[in-house]
Structure 1
């Protein structure tokens, strides 16, 4: 099997398009097309990017005895989050579950890559528009997830930025919210919630049903029976990254 054939076989084993591979590897889609169809020179840097994106070892691409289905890391599948129209991605419980069932990239056994919905800000104020959005992937050590956020499982975890100040002082505006789709609906816990097409981060009060802010300047939201409400995931922590750009 040629190098071109191996790249194509690995990609198809993931269920990816060439555009998917380009997105997650950082290699242009034009280059991916050339690599898969022509005997062209490929730099080691490009091979490393492609291997990392596919969750494979770089040696797999040079081992003629390699079987795609038996490659050491191929059982760990990183797949684009449930595709909707075009290449847009949407933050919801079903998609997060599907993505996290497949998104553990064991480049190193103790590292997981968590989807970061950088353009899908959850509002901690009056709600942000719920729109299809792209995501990046943030590397975390499993031990760090346990120590920082008490995450004993790394399944179904996502990160999303918070805007608004209605959850102060618990969650500050601009912090990154770490949430987990664990199927819970715990009284008083903080959740990422879709309500009437908008995303919020609020405390859940069940009797009567209310979405409560920690900032007392905000009145509770009281969903009605005919209004759409979906609990996306339980907030297990938040953190901030202080940086300066010049």
Structure 2
């Protein structure tokens, strides 16, 4: 789901017309129509803030899937989603990783939008990782609760495609996408949930061909960013 569809659905759920939304954000009907149909791809920080306020949601909520609740504002003083040179772009992917029993994924992950951070601010969060190596996705399920809670947003280093030490990973196993802690124990990988209600399980050497690591989690954001690596 792209941001235009999300905005249209939020508008309709509040009984607002296109005209009413246009008036609320001090724009015109044509701009709102292009936004909702996906013809307009770039948004200023100010425009997003006005839209979110008019729809009574957070800026972050404009980017998340319909079945997820509001997760709180991304720090808008350091957020820009318009073109610019001195920015660090993070792609927002139309996929949810399961911190539960896994969710079925397709082969193609669509980029639905991009968030651009001030370079210095991004460096304080992502370190020396080059632009394009960090992506942002949603988390479903409670198996990592206490570290990553349901509906948190996670920042993933997508250049880590092999196990490179104990940590939290986004990985596909036999067609299901997970976000779990991986730990090497002898010749196996232990799959660990931080929520103790979930039992750990193992990926054996014989099963490694079913494991595809999509990236390593470097942080998460409920209302503020938490670092994990």
TM superposition score category, shorter chain reference: 0.5 to 0.7
How many residue pairs were aligned?
Answer: 148
TM-score, length of structure 2 as denominator length: 0.55
User: In the alignment, does 2:138 pair up with 1:156?
Assistant: no
Alignment of 1:24-173 (within 5 A): 107-117=83-93, 119-131=94-106, 132-134=108-110, 135-173=112-150
Cα RMSD (Å): 3.3
Stretches of structure 2 lacking an aligned partner (at least 5 in a row): 1-29, 43-80, 225-229
Distance in 2 of aligned mates of 1:211 and 1:231:
13
| Structure 1 spans left out of the alignment, 5+ residues | 1-42, 54-104
User: Deviation of residue 186 (structure 1)?
Assistant: 3.2
Deviations 1:154-191 (A, max 9, x none): 23211100011111111111110100123352332111
Paired position in structure 2 for 1:40:
none
Paired position in structure 1 for 2:181: 203
**If the length of structure 1 is used for normalisation, what is the TM-score?**
0.51
Structure 1 runs of 4+ aligned residues shifted over 6 Å read 49-53
Higher Cα radius of gyration: 1
Q: Tell me, in whole angstroms, the C-alpha distance in 2 between the residues paired with 1:114 and 1:106.
A: 12
Please tell me whether residue 190 in structure 1 is matched to residue 168 in structure 2.
yes
Tell me, in whole angstroms, the C-alpha distance in 2 between the residues paired with 1:122 and 1:170.
15
Displacement after TM superposition at 1:142 (Å): 2.5
Cα-to-partner distance string for 1:62-119 (whole Å, 9 max, x where unaligned): xxxxxxxxxxxxxxxxxxxxxxxxxxxxxxxxxxxxxxxxxxx9932221332211x3
Structure 1 distance, partners of 2:41, 2:138, is 26
Task: String of CA shifts for 1:174-216, please: whole Å, max 9, x gaps.
Answer: 1101001233523321111111111111111112311111111
